[in-house]
Amino acid sequence: MADWNQQIIEEFRANDGIVETMGFGRGLVLVHHLGARSGEERINPVANIREDDGSRLVAASAAGADKNPDWYHNLLAHPDVTVETPDGVEQVHVTDLHGAERDAAWARFKQMSDGFRAYEAKTDRVIPVLRLTPRG
């Protein structure tokens, strides 16, 4: 997975945020975060939905794995992070969505891609959705 992520990161940076691999286009952001235990900086490419207010939604789908991705735990432990977008770099604050707000956001991911519907069908866990709100 680390090699795949690195390839996506390199393609994102080489093509001004456009990733043709798997048809991502301009739909990814690179989330810079600190390891919850290690404190080491990490970068993960994550699909996102841009909101009208400038915030972004990201889903911790882990391709339907039975556990949340490590980056999800890292973002909860250190919620002030940086994201690289096709339009530049943003400082954001992460909020874990719950209840009806989470459900509505998750429905948007399922509308965006059949892949998200398939991920939900593969797992019994509730896939978390996070809001990345610009800081400052």
Residue 71 maps to a domain: yes
Residue 96 maps to a domain: yes
Residue 11 in this model has a pLDDT that exceeds 80:
yes
Pairing of strands 129-134, 88-96: antiparallel
Residue 1 in this model has a pLDDT that exceeds 90:
no
Give the chain's end-to-end CA distance (angstroms, integer): 33
Residue 90 maps to a domain: yes
Residue 11 maps to a domain: no
Each residue's pLDDT tens digit, 46-100: 999 999 999 999 999 999 999 999 999 999 999 999 999 999 999 999 999 999 9
Can you tell me which residue has the tokens 């207010």? 53
Residue 40 maps to a domain: yes
Query: Per-residue confidence at 121, pLDDT binned at 50, 70, 90?
Result: very high
Cα–Cα dist 46/67, whole Å: 16
- Environment class of 74 (CB within 10 Å of its CB; exposed 0-12, middle 13-18, buried 19+): buried
Q: The domain containing residue 70 runs over which residues?
A: 29-134
Residue 123 maps to a domain: yes
Residue 101 in this model has a pLDDT that exceeds 80:
yes
Q: What is the CATH number of the domain that holds 33?
A: 2.30.110.10
Each residue's pLDDT tens digit, 25-34: 888 999 999 9
Residue 122 maps to a domain: yes
Residue 6 maps to a domain: no
The total domain count for the chain is 1
For the whole prediction, is pTM greater than 0.85? yes
